[in-house]
């Protein structure tokens, strides 16, 4: 923008700053940090970037609570391309965009799009690139979000790529942990369930590791956290403990992050049936938990958390799902340079 438009032509002494009722906008630099960026994973996020996302999300959470009508994305369009089932991720992305005053176009599951006619993901993305300002994509293939980002000129947000990553879920998980526990450091976090195939934990570990937390991985034999993930964490000095025994970790953890056995990742459904019900969190198990335990789940749950646990004061999974809106508002506004 030309300086003359701001009344700052050469030689002109700017007036001293006046007090304003409008709060300062630290997000100006935030916008520069994120504008035009893809969000594909969590491993490349710095502490500063994470802070910016969490602060922006908090600002939007307050605006939502105050029933403010936001217009920062007025005239902008989000395309949600979901080639796998979704309830929370798609609806909260779309709610986020609508709450920011923007609009949404959508393709849900392969059957209703040209993917059913054999179109490649890259070609679909190159097309949508001309319709929207930002894309949220979910796809069964690990690495698909990268393929989409390579094909797009607009920002691409990974809404889950097969067994790979689910960065927006991990960011709302971290936001939830901060809200529920009041801090992000000095915690023992147990992740339970299908850690081999569950993409939410693959993204969450990087963020929790940044704060020097103790991580406990509880999985049935064969569904453990991939060895390269645990090796990477240990090489960064992260305290990682692995076990098959859920009862053993319960008295130690501040956060219990439960995941579903990922049925759709098993070629052999008999194998899935063998794993199904490996762990069930119920009132009996929780009697041995620390006071102040936070129980989380990205949802959907199948049978991993008994419904009687919903009454537990630390049962945060529905609050967690709701936190998806302000966090995704923050991400959409940041990558489109709209904050
Ligand atoms: C998760 C996913 O899709 O990876 N769900 C979600 O996005 N909230 C977890 C799951 O499906 O088990």
* Smallest CA separation from ligand 1 atom 8, residue: 298
C-alpha to C-alpha distance for 249 and 258, rounded to whole angstroms: 13
Q: In whole angstroms, what separates CA 319 from the centre of its chain?
A: 14
Residue 163 pLDDT grade (very low, low, confident, very high; cuts 50, 70, 90): very high
Mean pLDDT (the chain) is: 91
* 312 within 8 A of 295, measured Cβ to Cβ: yes
Separation of CA 136 and ligand 1 centre (Å)? 15
**pLDDT confidence of residue 5:** 34
Ligand 1 atom with the smallest distance to the CA of 200 is 4
Q: Which two tokens stand for residue 180?
A: 């529920």
Distance CA 169, CA 325 (A): 11
Q: Are 140 and 162 in contact (CB under 8 A)?
A: yes
pLDDT of residue 118: 84
Mean pLDDT of 102-123: 83
Span 229-272, pLDDT tens digits: 999 999 999 999 999 999 999 999 999 999 999 999 999 999 99
Ligand 1 mean position to 37 CA, how many Å? 23
Q: How far apart are CA 294 and CA 309, in angstroms?
A: 11
Residues 140, 82 contacting (CB under 8 angstroms): no
Residue 108 DSSP code? E
pTM of the model: 0.91
Which residue, by CA, sits nearest to atom 6 of ligand 1?
298
DSSP-derived 3-state class of residue 159: strand
For ligand 1, the distance from its centroid to the CA atom of residue 7, given in whole angstroms, is 51
| DSSP reduced 3-state for 319 | helix
Domains of the chain as residue ranges with CATH: 2-166+322-335 (3.40.50.1370), 168-321 (3.40.50.1370)
CA of 299 to the centre of ligand 1 (A): 6
**Pairing, β 188-192 against β 255-258:** parallel
Three-class DSSP category at 257: strand
Model confidence at 112, in pLDDT bands (50, 70, 90)? low
Q: How far from 209 is each of 23, 65, 164, 265, 283, CA to CA, in Å?
A: 33, 31, 18, 26, 29
pLDDT digits (tens, 9 = 90+) for 131-149: 999 999 999 999 999 999 9
Residue 262 Cα to ligand 1 midpoint, Å, equals: 9
* 96 band by pLDDT with thresholds 50, 70 and 90: very high
Tokens matching residue 245: 């025994």
Q: Beta strand 134-139 with 77-82: parallel, antiparallel or unpaired?
A: parallel
- Rounded-to-integer distance, Cα 7 and Cα 211, Å: 45
23 pLDDT more than 80 = no
Sequence-ordered strand ranges (E) for 11-76: none
Kindly tell me if the per-residue pLDDT of 26 is higher than 80. no
Q: Residue 109: pLDDT band by 50, 70, 90 thresholds?
A: low
Q: Which protein residues touch ligand 1 with a CB less than 6 Å away? A: 88-89, 160, 166, 169, 199-200, 259-260, 298-299
- For ligand 1, atom 7: residue with the closest CA: 89
Q: Whose CA is nearest to atom 12 of ligand 1?
A: 260
Residue 115 token pair: 């993917």
Residue with the nearest Cα to atom 1 of ligand 1?
A: 298
Could you tell me which residues come within 8 angstroms of residue 302 by beta carbon, excluding any fewer than 6 positions away? 260, 261, 263, 276
């Amino acid at each position: 923008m030309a300086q003359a438009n701001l009344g700052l032509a050469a030689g002109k002494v700017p007036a001293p700053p006046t007090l304003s009722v409008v709060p300062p906008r630290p997000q100006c630099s935030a916008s520069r940090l994120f504008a035009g960026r893809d969000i594909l994973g969590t491993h490349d996020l710095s502490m500063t970037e994470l802070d910016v996302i969490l602060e922006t999300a908090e600002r939007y959470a307050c605006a939502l609570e105050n029933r403010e009508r936001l217009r920062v994305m007025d005239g902008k369009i989000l395309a949600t391309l979901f080639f796998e089932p979704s309830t929370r991720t798609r609806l909260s992305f779309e709610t986020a965009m609508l709450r920011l005053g923007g609009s949404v176009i959508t393709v849900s599951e392969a059957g209703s799009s040209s993917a059913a006619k054999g179109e490649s993901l890259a070609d679909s993305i190159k097309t949508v690139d001309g319709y929207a300002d930002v894309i949220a994509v979910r796809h069964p293939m690990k690495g698909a979000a990268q393929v989409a980002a390579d094909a797009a000129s607009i920002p691409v947000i990974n809404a889950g790529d097969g067994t790979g990553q689910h960065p927006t879920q991990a960011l709302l998980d971290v936001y939830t942990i901060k809200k529920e526990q009041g801090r992000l450091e000095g915690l023992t976090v147990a992740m339970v369930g299908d850690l081999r195939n569950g993409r939410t934990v693959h993204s969450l570990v990087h963020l929790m590791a940044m704060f020097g937390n103790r991580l406990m991985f509880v999985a049935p034999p064969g569904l453990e956290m991939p060895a390269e993930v645990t090796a990477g964490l240990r090489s960064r000095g992260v305290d990682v403990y692995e076990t098959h025994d859920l009862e053993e970790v319960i008295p130690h953890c501040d956060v219990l992050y439960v995941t579903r056995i990922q049925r759709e990742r098993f070629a052999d459904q008999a194998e899935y049936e063998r794993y199904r019900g490996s762990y069930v969190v119920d009132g009996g198990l929780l009697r041995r938990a620390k006071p102040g335990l936070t129980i989380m789940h990205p949802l959907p749950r199948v049978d991993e958390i008994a419904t009687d646990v919903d009454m537990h004061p630390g049962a945060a999974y529905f609050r967690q799902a709701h936190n998806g809106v302000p966090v995704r508002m923050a991400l959409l506004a940041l990558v489109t340079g709209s904050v």
